[in-house]
Amino acid sequence: MAVFPQGLSAIDRRCDNAGERAVLHQLKRCLSDDYLVWHDVPVGPRQRQPDFVVFSPRRGLLILEVKHWALSSLRSATRDRVELATAHGLQTVAHPLVQARTYALELNDVLQGDAVLVHDDGPFRGKSRVPYGWGCVLSKIERRKIDGSDFAEVFPEHKTLLRDDLAEDVEPYDFEKRLWGMFVLTFPFALSLPQRDRVRWHLFPEVRVQAQQALALDDGSSALAPLPDLMQVMDLQQEQIARTLGEGHRVIHGPAGSGKTMILIFRAQQLAAAARPEQPVLVLCYNRALAERIGFVLRERGVSEQTVVVRTFHAWCHDMVRSYQLEVGADLRGEAYFEALAATVSRSVETGLVPGGQYSALLIDEAHDFEDAWLRMATRLVNPATNALLVLYDDAQSIYQKSRRSFSFAKLGIQARGRTSVMRLNYRNTAEILALALRCAQGLLDDERAGADDDAVPCVLPASAGRRGPMPRLIEVASEAEEAAAVASQVEAALADGLALGDLAVLARTKAQLNTVARELHRRGIALQSMGGSDFRHFDWAAPAAKLVTMHSAKGLEFPFVAIVGLHRMPAREESLDEAARLLYVGMTRATHRLVLSAAGASPIVDRVRNALEALAVKDAGAQSQPL
């Protein structure tokens, strides 16, 4: 059966007429599982919406337009226009084959602009590697009723499917052959997985991990940057989860790097289209850096702050205090103030001082950092008419809870039984980085408690997607000044290798530990933004600068290059070794390609990292010595 990233039942509900539904079920019945089928989704740079987009890595890209017209309603037709008799009189509409052809040619032009998807030699040199075609389906017209007419002159047989072609007794192979006949040309080919993902990257901008960047030109204008060698997109499971998130409460469990935040951004984009400023979508998370990053990505994608509001939980509480003039203890400071702030807003929501149902949808990232009372309150904030609540959770990254949580979502009012998804593949990290992070976590991720009960809170053990890279490196020196110099040299080497400043991050346990590194980077002329600076307010994510971040604040973020400094200061006096190991796991899994760790002294965490690297080196050497 073909794969339907939007979900078969969801498409069935969205079909405008019986004709589209008949086409859907024939595609389901007749196509094999290497076909991907989308229905009525915006595609390409102009965001056109064909009825069906059919893609096969063996066959190519096909656009189908479906018309459920009765033969008697067709008054006249040319190759460009069709005149229809309707309840409102005669109407002239575009020929469905012209529509489908326009869409297909636009998409081919886009794909042909990508050098990786173009033939570099042979008779098709300079042409797209992806064959394309188009056709129409007249789902209400039977072949016997047009026999002997000139119908085929305006609806060519090889480009037109009729009601007969949608019958259940049609052989799947015969139906496939009818689709293949709609292609402009065919040649032996099979797209690789990276090439397939590049096609999806071009077709559906919303599944891109990162939007294509614009370059400023000397004349003041701008142009798109050259296409990257690696175009990161959601995998099909991620896209399917993102596209099938319907009404009601939803929970997604997934380890670091599995794409939870990417799905949240996709969902926020979808919901923004229907949101109104008086009842926007609310996105909540714990850390300010993550909230800023999510907001930045949404603004890049054209989503306004009036329709999707992104806040940390405590910043949102401040909004409520100001908006509804709530009283919080004026003499409180630090943690005591934040506890009182949350408690005040929670009580005010329960009593109605802060009205419920303010938001058309609520999306919570890193929900494992939220207190039970905060999650309970969240269910009251969503308009009951939409009841749209999405909770993203990873128990392994719960670094603010002093003890492991064990609770039922239902007891907090989150009714997600039967609407819970578990994602296991880690796409962010290389196999080498993930292997080190898991070995250093040493049993903290072994507790899979969900079982068959999707209302429980599992600790999901991540599985590598198989991407390879350099082995992480541990640098041990005698002083923190030497440590800063060594890390700065690693940053310079990464820049020399072609990484951009925005691809680099330095993480530490505390803000104070970032300052020594910041001074050394500044001395070497490397632009940076540091949370350790006295004047720091927030990151400018568009600025070309390395980011210096605490490990706590780095949750949810990712960078191609990550250096973690100050391992000799872990665990801190107030934390256990397990707490430090969990925090280090979070820090390590921020790196997508290159990870450097450093220490200016001894500690149990330094020992753990050193031992883990030695064990991985022995394991790797053993694997290489095995006979083929």
Please tell me the predicted confidence (pLDDT) of residue 403: 52
Q: Are residues 358 and 495 in the same domain?
A: no
- Size of the chain, expressed as the number of residues it contains: 628
Q: Are residues 247 and 196 in the same domain?
A: no
Provide mean pLDDT across the span 369-396: 89
Token output for 475: 């640098």
Residue 241 has pLDDT above 50, yes or no: yes
Whether 320 is in a domain gets the answer yes
Structural domains in the chain (count): 3
Whether 547 is in a domain gets the answer yes
The lowest-confidence range among 115-129, 533-547, 556-570 is 115-129
Q: Are residues 258 and 192 in the same domain?
A: no
Residue tagged 């022995």 (tokens): 618
Whether 284 is in a domain gets the answer yes
Q: Are residues 62 and 157 in the same domain?
A: yes
| CA atoms within a 13 Å half-sphere pointing along the CA-CB vector of 616 | 21
Q: Which of 145, 173, 208 is the last residue of a domain?
A: 208
Q: Are residues 366 and 244 in the same domain?
A: yes
Query: 228: cis peptide before it, omega within 30°?
Result: no
| CA atoms within a 13 Å half-sphere pointing along the CA-CB vector of 50 | 31
Neighbours of 563 (CB within 10 A): 29
Whether 604 is in a domain gets the answer yes
Residues 257/462, Cβ–Cβ less than 8 Å = yes
DSSP notation for 509-570: SSSHHHHHHHHHHHHTT--EEETTSTT-----TTS--EEEEETTTTTT--EEEEEE--GGG-
DSSP state of 121: S
Q: Are residues 237 and 199 in the same domain?
A: no
Please tell me the predicted confidence (pLDDT) of residue 628: 47
Give residue 398's pLDDT band: very low, low, confident or very high (50, 70, 90).
low
Q: Are residues 83 and 166 in the same domain?
A: yes
Percentage of residues in the chain having pLDDT higher than 90: 54
Give residue 259's pLDDT band: very low, low, confident or very high (50, 70, 90).
confident
Q: Are residues 378 and 276 in the same domain?
A: yes
Whether 564 is in a domain gets the answer yes
Whether 83 is in a domain gets the answer yes
Give residue 163's pLDDT band: very low, low, confident or very high (50, 70, 90).
very high
Give residue 341's pLDDT band: very low, low, confident or very high (50, 70, 90).
very high
Please tell me the predicted confidence (pLDDT) of residue 140: 93
Residue 604 has pLDDT above 90, yes or no: yes
Whether 586 is in a domain gets the answer yes
Q: Are residues 163 and 239 in the same domain?
A: no
Helix ranges (H only) for 31-159 are 96-112, 151-154
Q: By CB neighbour count within 10 A (0-12 exposed, 13-18 middle, 19+ buried), where does 31 fall?
A: buried
Question: Does residue 95 or residue 273 have the better pLDDT?
Answer: 95
Do the bridges between strand 89-94 and strand 132-138 make them parallel or antiparallel, or are there none, so unpaired?
unpaired
Q: Which of 423, 444, 464 is the last residue of a domain?
A: 423
- Alpha-carbon torsion angle 405, 410, 414, 420, nearest 10: 80
Provide mean pLDDT across the span 398-404: 56
Please tell me the predicted confidence (pLDDT) of residue 445: 66
Domain that holds residue 74: 8-208
Please tell me the predicted confidence (pLDDT) of residue 515: 94
Please report which helix (H) or strand (E) contains residue 81, including its range. Answer: strand 81-86
Provide mean pLDDT across the span 90-101: 93
Provide mean pLDDT across the span 150-162: 93
Q: Are residues 200 and 285 in the same domain?
A: no
Q: Are residues 244 and 199 in the same domain?
A: no
Whether 458 is in a domain gets the answer no
Q: Which of 161, 192, 208 is the last residue of a domain?
A: 208
Neighbours of 285 (CB within 10 A): 28
Question: Does residue 221 or residue 56 have the better pLDDT?
Answer: 56
Residue 452 has pLDDT above 50, yes or no: no
pLDDT in tens, 214-237: 444 444 444 444 454 544 566 676
Provide mean pLDDT across the span 317-331: 90
pLDDT in tens, 407-448: 678 888 898 887 888 888 887 889 999 999 999 987 776 654
Residues 11/18, Cβ–Cβ less than 8 Å = no
Residue 210 has pLDDT above 70, yes or no: no
Residue 494 has pLDDT above 80, yes or no: yes
Provide mean pLDDT across the span 540-544: 91
CATH number at residue 531: 3.40.50.300
Token output for 227: 């296409």
Provide mean pLDDT across the span 9-19: 87
pLDDT in tens, 352-361: 999 999 999 9
Q: Are residues 30 and 173 in the same domain?
A: yes
